[in-house]
Amino acid sequence: MHTVWKGAISFGLVHVPVKMFSATEDKDISMRYVHKECGSPLSYVRKCPVCEKEVQWEEISKGYEYEKGKFVLFEKDELEQIAEQANKSIAILDFVDLSEIDPIYFQKTYYLAPDQAGGNAYQLLKEAMSQSGKIGIAKISIRSKSSLAAIRVLDNCLAIETMFYPDEIRPVSQVPNLPENITVNEKELGMAQMLIDQLSTPFDPEKYTDDYRARLLELIEHKVTGEEIKIAPAKQETNVIDLMAALQASIEAAKPAAITPTDPGKPKKTAKAKTKTAAAEDKQAAGAEGPKPKRRKTAKKNETVS
C-alpha cells in the first residue's frame, strides 16, 4: 500500500512513530469525455481568459477571492510553512466513547502502522485503548487540510478516521420542508415497527454489493464485444397514498424471507395439511366399513320395535 502520511501519534509525553495508509479504495468506474465525431478523448486546457493563452503549471499560484474578482495570492512555500508543524504530529487531545460520536462527523478511514523503532510504543497504545474501550480524539493535517480525527483499534491495527469540525456540519434547521406537528397514526406506527422487526438482522457487509457497478461492467463488456444491447425500461414509481395498504403489503412481502424452518409459522401449515389428509383417510376408512355400522343400526331398530 502507498504511504499517505508519515509522522507520530502523541498522547501525553509518549510519541508513537507511524505511517498512514488508506483503508478504503474508490471502485467507481471512471469515464472520459470523447468527441463523438472522431472518437478522440478530450483534454482539459488551463487557459487564461484575459491573456487568451494556455497557462503552464509553473505559472500558477493559489488565490483567495475576498471580493468579487479580487484575489490575494499565496506561494507554495507560504502555505507549506504554516502547515509544516501540523503535518508531523497526531496529537490525541481526549479519550471518549465511540458511541458518543454521531456518524455524520466521519470522513475517511486510514490504517496506522508503526514506523522505525516505534513497535513497542505502538503496541502499548493499542493494548491500552483496547482494554479501556475508548477512542482517541486528535487533530491531524493531511495535504494542507486540517481535520479532527478519531483513533481506534480495528482488529489488530490502529485506525484513524478523519472527521469534520462542528462548524462544517450544516444544521438540520437548514433542511427545507421538514414536517412539523404531524400526528402519527398509532395503527400505522405499530405496523411500521412490525415491518422493522421483520427486516431486522445482524449487519453482514458481505451481502451488500454495488449493483450499479456490476451492471455497468456488464454493459461495457457487451459493448466491447459488439453485442446488441437492450435495456429494460425503468420501473415506474408510484406515489404511496394508502400507508396502511403499503405497510401491509410490505409485511406480507417480507414474510417469506423472515420465516425459517424453525419458525412457529411453518408447523401450523404442516399441521393443517396433515389434518386434511387425516380427515380424508378417516372418510375413506369410514366408507370401507360402512356396512357394519348400518347392520348395527338396523339390529338396534328391530330390537326396539319388538
Which residues of the chain have a pLDDT value below 50? 258-281, 283-306
CB-count burial class (<10 Å; 0-12, 13-18, 19+) for 108: middle
Predicted local distance difference test score (pLDDT) of residue 237:
60
**% residues pLDDT > 70 (the chain):** 78
| pTM of this structure | 0.66
Predicted local distance difference test score (pLDDT) of residue 227: 77
The highest-level CATH class for domain 1-25+82-170 is mainly beta
pLDDT of residue 239: 58
**What's residue 153's pLDDT?**
95
Q: What is the pLDDT of residue 289?
A: 47
Q: What is the largest CA-CA distance in the chain?
A: 133
Residue boundaries of the structural domains of the chain:
1-25+82-170, 182-200+242-259
Query: CA nearest 87: which of 152, 147, 136, 137?
Result: 147
pLDDT at 272: 44
Which residue is listed with cell 469525455? 33
Give, in order, the Cα–Cα distances in Å from 139 to each of 8, 27, 31, 124.
12, 28, 36, 21
Three-class DSSP category at 109:
strand
Q: At what angle do helices 186-199 and 243-258 cross, to 10 degrees?
A: 20
Q: What's the CA gap between 252 and 29, in Å, rounded? A: 37
Query: Which helix (H) or strand (E) element contains residue 161?
Result: strand 157-163
pLDDT of residue 158: 95
